[in-house]
Amino acid sequence: MKALTKTDFHFPGQLSKYTGKVRDVYSLDNDYLVMVATDRISAFDVVLPKGIPFKGQVLNQIACKFLDATSDILPNWKIDCPDPMVTVGWRCEPFKVEMVIRGYLTGHAWREYKAGKRTLCGCPMPEGMVENQKFPEPIITPTTKADAGHDEDISKEEIIAQGIVSREDYEQLEAYTRALYARGCEMAAKMGLILVDTKYEFGKRDGKIVLMDEIHTPDSSRYFYAEGYEQRQAAGERQKQLSKEFVREWLMANGFQGQEGQHVPEMTEEVIAGITDRYVELYEHITGCKFEAAEAEDIAARIEKNINTFLTR
């Protein structure tokens, strides 16, 4: 199985290229963005040394599905998906925060809770909770959007006080975040899943708030299987989940948490194939569709051809 970990395209009207942790974003004619979801994978804000075959296709196709399924809540940046790994959309002015919403005490929130903290980004977390327990109400725990390195937790009041986002815009972002999460939970429930937590990125286009980037993918979200959730909680067992958390857990079990002096453990073919299988499994569970792997003999050539065909239209 082949993985695409790097692109170097040159499209008509191309102004610049931005390389993120996972996506390569090409700016065209000051108005459009071509976002390529590569097979790179990151954890603890570190890009791992090997790619995961079909991961980019899974991410892009799930994101496209959910962008379409939430366009009645607010407008989004998507124009079209000309290739299984590509979305073309409108350029927006991004807000410098990511809106993280958590319905359950897990992942980063649990690690903070276990360390004794009872507030996260200014949101109180009740005493006496256990890992993976549902919050009485979902909490919004935003992070600053770092161009490089680690994103940092930040509270609503700090965001407003520092002028990162105006109070009016921030309160609208919160309302959109809750509405998007509710829709994601509804869709997940129909597929026998629980949308545990997720994050959204927003921007502005023509003065209006727009949903950007990916949505409800395994890179931005965490899912539990609904069947057996209560029984596993009562027995103090680990939840069966579909998310990137299993990659983080594998790294932590092998002594890596992205800290200075630590080294990424060896990514064997078996480990890589296992991660691909988990991504495909999530795609099929969350969409209810059989995963159809795109032609992968020369992935870059296929993508370039499909994008150029779209641009000529």
Strands 42-43 and 32-37: unpaired
| Burial annotation 210-232 (CB, 10 A radius, 16+ → b, else e) | bbbbbbbbbbbbbbbbeeebeeb
Task: Please indicate, yes or no, if residue 114 is contained in any of the structural domains.
Answer: yes
Determine the pLDDT at residue 204: 97
* Nearest in space to 142 (alpha carbons), one of 123, 127, 126, 129: 123
Determine the pLDDT at residue 313: 85
Do the beta carbons of residue 57 and residue 51 sit within 8 Å?
no
Task: Please indicate, yes or no, if residue 119 is contained in any of the structural domains.
Answer: yes
Q: How many domains does the chain have?
A: 1
Phi, psi of 43 (to 5 degrees): -155, 145
Q: Which residues in the chain land under pLDDT 50?
A: none
Task: Please indicate, yes or no, if residue 136 is contained in any of the structural domains.
Answer: yes
Local structure of 123: helix, strand or coil: strand
Determine the pLDDT at residue 158: 97
Task: Please indicate, yes or no, if residue 107 is contained in any of the structural domains.
Answer: yes
C-alpha to C-alpha distance for 171 and 260, rounded to whole angstroms: 37
Determine the pLDDT at residue 219: 82
Task: Give the list of residues 6+ apart from residue 277 with CB closer than 8 angstroms, or none.
Answer: none
Task: Please indicate, yes or no, if residue 131 is contained in any of the structural domains.
Answer: yes
Strands 42-43 and 78-83: unpaired
Task: Please indicate, yes or no, if residue 161 is contained in any of the structural domains.
Answer: yes
Ramachandran region, residue 283 (left: φ > 0; alpha: ψ -120 to 50; beta: rest): alpha
Is residue 135 within a helix (H) or strand (E), and if so which, with residue range?
strand 134-140
Task: Please indicate, yes or no, if residue 47 is contained in any of the structural domains.
Answer: no
Any idea what the CATH number is for the domain that residue 174 is in? 3.30.470.20
Sheet order of strands, 14-19 included: 14-19, 23-28, 32-37, 86-90, 78-83
Determine the pLDDT at residue 136: 98
Determine the pLDDT at residue 278: 87
Task: Please indicate, yes or no, if residue 293 is contained in any of the structural domains.
Answer: no
Structure tokens at 232: 């596993």
Determine the pLDDT at residue 281: 87
Task: Give the list of residues 6+ apart from residue 225 with CB closer than 8 angstroms, or none.
Answer: 192, 193, 194, 239, 240, 241, 242
Query: In the chain, what is the greatest distance between 2 CA atoms, to the nearest angstrom?
Result: 59
Q: How many CA atoms lie within 13 A of 149 on its CB side?
A: 4
- Domain containing residue 175: 94-243
